[in-house]
Every structure is written in C-alpha cells, then in structure tokens.
C-alpha cells in the first residue's frame, strides 16, 4: 500500500511526460528527498573512523556526525545500506533507540534539540559492504590484488551513495564544512583518502591508522579510501591562488609509467585555472591516486585507472584524433574539481551540472593547447555518441539521474551557447564567475540557468528547455525560392528562437534569428545553404 501510494503521488506531481515510464519505491523517496527527518539539522562535521580488513572483505567503524539544529525535532534520519548494520547510536554517551526502514535509520533523540545548538551523534557500524561489480558505475568496494598479491582496495559510490560503505546523511544538498577520515589498514598497506594526511599511527596489532583531514565542504560520494602498497612523490604548482601541493600515488609496479603519464597534471591545472578560475581546494592539495577501476572525481584525491595511456582506455571518443593527445581520466576527472566538487548538484536529477560542464572542459583543454579549431572539432566529434533517448534532467526527489546524454549533448549545448555569446573573453568570465558565485555550494539547475542568462545577457531559458528537458533536436528548415531564402525552426519546444549562423553570399558567417514561423531573406544567388556546425542543430531543405 505504501508503495502504491507513493507511485500515485509521484505521477500526479510530475508534469514530465517521461516520468510515467518509471516507478519508484518508498526507499527511493527516503534516499532521494529532503525528508523532514533530514531537513531540521545542518551537517557541520563528520569523523569517519573505519578499520578495513581485506582478508575477509569486512569493515568496522564509527562516524561522529556533528550538526546544528535548524528546527527543533526529535527524530533524525541517517542512512546505511545493506548488508551493513548499525550496532549502536549514542548521543552524549547515552544509547538511543532507532528503527530501520530499508536503508534509512530513524533515530529517536532523547535530549531536547534546541534551535541553534550544536549537537552530535556517534554511529557504530560493521559488516561486509556491497562489492562493486562494475566500478565506478555500480559502486561499492573493489577488493583486488597487485602483482605481488598484496591487497589493492578502493571505494566508489556516485549515484549509489556513500551510505553503501559508511553511515551518513546520504543526500547531496547538505555537505559538512570539514571532515576527518581515519582509516586503519594492515601493514605494509597505505590508505589515501581526501584532504591532507595529518599523521600515521602505528598500532600494536600490525596495522596503521592513516588520519586525513579535509578542510573544505565535501560531497558524500567524493569521500574515498584507496588502499595499496603505494609509492608516492610530490610536486608543486605556482597557480592562481599561490602554491598548490601535488601528490601522486601509484603501485610500485607502475612507478615509471605513472611518473611519465602524471606529468599531464600540471598543464591540465593551468588550462582549467585559465578557464574556470583557481583550483577550488588549495587547502586540501591535489592528489592523483592509482586505483583498480577506471577512475572517479573524488575531491582532492582524483582516482586513476586508465592504464597509463592517452584517450579513454586508449580510445578517442571524438574520433578526431584530438582525444588521443591527452589522458581522458586525468583531464575529465580533474575537471570535476570545478564542476562536481566545487559546484555540486543538490539533486542527482541535475547531474548535467557535473557531467555537461566536465565533458565541455575536455574541449576547453584541447583548445588551450591545440587551438580553437581543435577544441571545436573535439566537441563536434563527440556528437555521434548522443542518443536523444530521454531528457538530460532526471526525476527529482527519488535519486534518479537523466540520460547519459548529459555528457556529449550537454557539452554540445554549452558549445552552442558559447556561439550565442560570440565573445571568447566574456564566455571565459561567465565560467570563472560561476565558480566564484557558487563556490563550495550545492545548486539546482534553475540557479545555473538563471546565472548564465544574467551573465551572458541572453535569455537562454528556451535553449535549456530544448536541450535539457526534451529529446528533440531543433531542425532549421529552409527553402530557396527565386530571390528569397526562407527559414524557420521546426521540431523544437514552443517559443524556441535561438539565433544561428549561416554562410551568406559573400562567404561570411551571418547571424539570423529563426522562429517557428517562416522568415524571409532577400538573396541574389546563394549556392549552398551552409549552417555553422558549431551550433548543435539539424538542417533540412524543404520543398513546396
Ligand atoms: Zn564525469
């Protein structure tokens, strides 16, 4: 009954036609919405303290959750996914009652929670966490071994959520202001997590505890452990905000290859600082860490498993040749430091904010080193990967992300918007300003849309509706009649009137502003009607 009630409610509240293809459970709502048991408290700090035992793939630990009371309430939601279990939850040393509902735990607090007060709870948990089958896409723990047979272990959990391996407020809208991560592993292994390594504690049971501290807000899926018999080296970058500390970690067997491939980090950071502004986490440094899966944008500890080769596992996604000039995982996952870790979606339905801008960052990186033409060729080349199967924006409040088109189509939408701005320096300032305006914040699509319309001085609302909320690609229809060129938009959302450039009789690119009504342009003799390929639109000659 509960399940049906939620589906019913959902169909009524969603105006999106595509939504009706899906059904969601009560668990999805508990995971994906800001429930009243989440809304009343504001996360301030986590201390995750976890012991990882590769011998039997088990973990055991605790999380201290410090929060500020926004509204007085007595029931608090914390999330932890099966098969992990919570043993005990305490506040001020007193044990609390809790009730499990799927992956959500509702804790009844004893002490009055007064508005403005700072409180904390300690959650103790253990078990054998979900094992990732196809990391990083399905997420969980990857328990692998290096060539010497030593454990090589890592976590990844975007989408699935951090509660797959530690108890937390598993919704993206709220981030702690800082975080401590203490990870205990058997010798001689090391743990590389986020932020800075404050100390290593030698325990008397043949283990060591690595204590990491993150000074900045961090999104929950950004938190990670990477355990292996690592070798490391350091470097610095004289960047826009001073000296940025760089640390690199690779397995001994890959040291030489890593030292060579990871040299792409400094040029990458220079290009992205140029386009997006200062690296957003100078206080926490930048780390690149080898892992036994492809890679992920873990905040200040980007993970790498691209096989020390250029391209995406050696392939050029754009099929133009430009994608083989650089290492996809180093460039893409690091681009996320600006779009994902600095500017973070509140709801995974808005995941395009992470992936569209980061896909687009690949094009900007290419442009920075190989020229504007190269960048354009790259982003246009990626168009063949667009499916237009469903909208890019997913369904809100149920932990649902939209189409994979958020990568290539999203990147092409941004490239198209750049053509509308038609001023490279202004465009760069829009991107840099965005990273300042939303510095260390969680945001909605609406905020990004409004910001871009305001800063570009162009009403982009219909452009966003077209590319983010619809699957149709606008068709510029034209016909040539005697001394007239007629043109209009078709296959588009209502009110779509995006300007576009065509090659005029002098062979120059000229801006026209079609609407869904036919417009006429006087011509003498136009050979072929050519539209600037930088605009992601279709063109069709119509007869009659
Ligand atoms: Zn990405």
**pLDDT grade, residue 531 (50/70/90)?**
very high
Angle at 31 between CA 29 and CA 36, to 5 degrees: 70
DSSP code of 209? Answer: E
228/401 Cα distance (integer angstroms): 32
Cα(291) to centroid(ligand 1), Å: 16
Q: pLDDT tens, 393-413?
A: 999 999 999 999 999 999 999
Structure tokens at 210: 């690595």
Which residues lie below 8 Å from residue 227, measured CB to CB, with a gap of 6+?
Answer: 52, 54, 151, 152, 153, 154, 183, 185, 189, 190, 191, 192
Under 8 Å between Cβ of 134 and 204: no
Cα(136) to centroid(ligand 1), Å: 11
Q: What is the DSSP string of 316-364?
A: -TTSSSGGGSSBHHHHHHHHTTTBTTTEEESSGGGTHHHHHHHHHHHHH
Q: pLDDT tens, 365-384?
A: 999 999 999 999 999 999 99
Q: pLDDT tens, 430-452?
A: 999 999 999 999 999 999 999 99
Backbone phi and psi for residue 63, each to the nearest 5 degrees, phi listed first: -130, 125
For the full predicted model, state whether its pTM sits above 0.85. yes
Structure tokens at 383: 């168009």
Under 8 Å between Cβ of 441 and 344: yes
Cα(351) to centroid(ligand 1), Å: 10
Cα(539) to centroid(ligand 1), Å: 30
Cα(357) to centroid(ligand 1), Å: 9
Three-state DSSP class for residue 270: helix
The residue written with tokens 């939209």 in the block is 402
Cα(67) to centroid(ligand 1), Å: 30
Q: What is the pLDDT of residue 11?
A: 37
Which residues lie below 8 Å from residue 482, measured CB to CB, with a gap of 6+?
Answer: none
Q: What is the pLDDT of residue 217?
A: 98
Cα(1) to centroid(ligand 1), Å: 38
Name the nearest CA neighbour of 328 among 294, 292, 278. Answer: 294
Cα(236) to centroid(ligand 1), Å: 25
* pLDDT of 1 above 70: no
Cα(169) to centroid(ligand 1), Å: 23
Q: What is the pLDDT of residue 6?
A: 35
Cα(413) to centroid(ligand 1), Å: 16
| CB-proximal residues (5 Å) to ion ligand 1 | 358
**pLDDT grade, residue 510 (50/70/90)?**
very high
446/327 Cα distance (integer angstroms): 33
Cα(352) to centroid(ligand 1), Å: 9
Under 8 Å between Cβ of 311 and 328: yes
Cα(333) to centroid(ligand 1), Å: 6
Query: CA Rg, the chain, in Å?
Result: 25
Cα(483) to centroid(ligand 1), Å: 49
Cα(221) to centroid(ligand 1), Å: 13
Cis peptide before 136 (omega within 30 of 0): yes
Count of residues in the chain: 544
* Rounded (10°) angle between helices 372-381 and 408-421: 140
Cα(359) to centroid(ligand 1), Å: 7
Cα(340) to centroid(ligand 1), Å: 8
Cα(154) to centroid(ligand 1), Å: 18
Burial 110-121 (b: 16+ CB within 10 A, else e): eeebeeeeebeb
| pLDDT, average across residues 504-524 | 94
Q: What is the pLDDT of residue 215?
A: 98
Cα(76) to centroid(ligand 1), Å: 32
Number of separate helices (H) and strands (E) present in the chain: 12, 28
Three-state DSSP class for residue 518: coil
Cα(471) to centroid(ligand 1), Å: 21
Cα(334) to centroid(ligand 1), Å: 9
Cα(407) to centroid(ligand 1), Å: 8
Cα(336) to centroid(ligand 1), Å: 7
| pLDDT, average across residues 166-183 | 98
Structure tokens at 368: 């920075």
């Amino acid at each position: 009954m509960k399940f049906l009630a939620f589906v019913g409610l959902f169909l009524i509240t969603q105006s999106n036609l595509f939504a009706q293809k899906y059904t969601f459970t009560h668990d999805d709502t508990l995971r994906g919405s800001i429930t009243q048991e989440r809304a009343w408290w504001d996360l301030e700090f986590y201390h995750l303290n976890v012991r990882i035992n590769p011998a039997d793939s088990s973990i055991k630990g605790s999380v201290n959750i410090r929060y500020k009371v926004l509204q007085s309430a007595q029931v608090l939601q914390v999330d932890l996914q099966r098969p992990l279990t919570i043993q005990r939850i305490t506040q001020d040393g007193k044990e609390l009652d809790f009730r499990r509902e799927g992956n959500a735990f509702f804790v009844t607090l004893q002490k009055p929670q007064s508005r403005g007060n700072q409180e904390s709870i300690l959650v103790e948990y253990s078990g054998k966490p979900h094992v990732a089958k196809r990391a990083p896409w399905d997420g969980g723990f990857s328990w692998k071994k290096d060539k010497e047979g030593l454990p090589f272990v890592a976590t990844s959990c975007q989408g699935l959520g951090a509660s797959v391996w530690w108890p937390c407020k598993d919704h993206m809208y709220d981030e702690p202001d800082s975080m401590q991560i203490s990870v205990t592993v058997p010798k001689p292994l090391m743990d590389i997590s986020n932020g800075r390594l404050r100390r290593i504690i030698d325990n008397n049971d043949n283990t060591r505890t690595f204590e990491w501290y993150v000074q900045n807000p961090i999104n929950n899926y950004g938190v990670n452990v990477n355990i292996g018999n690592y070798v490391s080296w350091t470097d610095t970058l004289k960047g826009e905000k001073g000296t940025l500390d760089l640390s690199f970690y690779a397995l001994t067997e890959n040291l030489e290859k890593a030292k060579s491939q990871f040299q792409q980090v400094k040029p990458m950071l220079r290009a992205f600082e140029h386009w997006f502004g200062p690296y957003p986490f100078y206080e926490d440094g930048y780390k690149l860490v080898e892992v036994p899966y492809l890679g992920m944008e873990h905040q200040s500890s980007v993970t790498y498993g691209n096989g020390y080769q250029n391209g995406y596992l050696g392939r050029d996604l754009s099929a133009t040749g430009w994608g083989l000039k650089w290492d996809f995982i180093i460039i893409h996952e690091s681009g996320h430091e600006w779009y994902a870790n600095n500017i973070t979606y509140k709801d995974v339905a808005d995941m395009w904010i992470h992936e569209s801008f980061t896909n687009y960052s690949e094009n900007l990186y290419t442009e920075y080193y190989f020229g504007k033409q190269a960048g354009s060729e790259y982003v246009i080349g990626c168009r063949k990967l667009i499916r237009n199967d469903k909208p890019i924006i997913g369904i809100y409040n149920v932990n649902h992300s939209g189409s994979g088109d958020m990568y290539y189509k999203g990147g092409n939408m941004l490239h198209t918007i750049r053509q509308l701005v038609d001023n490279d320096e202004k465009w760069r300032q829009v991107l840099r300003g965005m990273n300042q305006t939303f510095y260390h914040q969680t945001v909605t699509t609406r905020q990004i849309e409004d910001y871009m319309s305001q800063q570009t001085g162009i009403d982009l609302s219909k452009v966003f509706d077209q590319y983010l909320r619809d699957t149709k690609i606008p068709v510029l229809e034209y016909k040539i009649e005697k001394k007239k060129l007629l043109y209009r938009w078709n296959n588009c959302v209502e009110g779509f009137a995006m300007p576009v450039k065509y090659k005029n009789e002098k062979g120059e690119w000229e801006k026209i502003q079609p609407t869904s009504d036919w417009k006429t342009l006087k011509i003498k003799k136009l050979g072929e009607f050519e539209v600037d390929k930088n605009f992601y639109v279709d063109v069709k000659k119509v007869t009659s």
